[in-house]
Structure 1
Amino acid sequence: MTDRPRSAPMPAALRQGRPPRHPALAVRCPHCSATPDMRCTTRAGRARVQRLDPCPARLAAHAIATAVCTTCQVTPGTPCHDDGIQRPDSSPVHNRRYEEAQETAA
């Protein structure tokens, strides 16, 4: 048996197999109040089961903060609209803006 300390660092070969971090984790979640770089939580305060999937509200906040919407032509930081009318909370961002946010993060 070896005398390695229990807090030995993880070997680089194992560390490379981790899935990439979702780019939406860079913003605070407006739904569950998770801070940047923290996973989204459920109402009970537990980490979401879908480890790599942030809350839909966090995905929308990330898209609004980082991407230009090619549908309604708004700049980053401005919410999407439909002919000047604010979009409903159920779909606050156009689908094309989500795609743009993914492309800019990659």
Structure 2
Amino acid sequence: MVACLLFKIEKWNKKGFNLQMPHSIIRIIELLTLPDYPGCLCLHLQVDEKIPIWQMALDLESENIMTGYGFGSTFAEAKAEAMTTLSKRINENECQITIHSK
């Protein structure tokens, strides 16, 4: 199965956060940036199961690094799902900032 992990690279760099990947379960295909998400790092991964990706996303989110993830039979499907997830996280964060600023 193909997975995509998309996260804000600037916060990740500032935190000095070490992303743990179980190499027996995950194989990195490529690292890239996407024109629509210039401040993010996109990981194209081959995985056997979803749990390690969910765990990495949880680890990043626990450090306040907004993260999107997705799965599919192709990278295009996984990337589209990750972009949707990250967009929702960004919108949720903007709503929380608006609510707390009143």
TM bracket (short chain): under 0.3
Of structures 1 and 2, the one with the larger relative CO (CA 8 A, separation 6+) is 2
Point out the structure with max Rg over C-alpha: 1
TM-score by length of 2: 0.25
- Higher helix share goes to which structure? 2
TM-score by length of 1: 0.24
- Higher strand share goes to which structure? 2
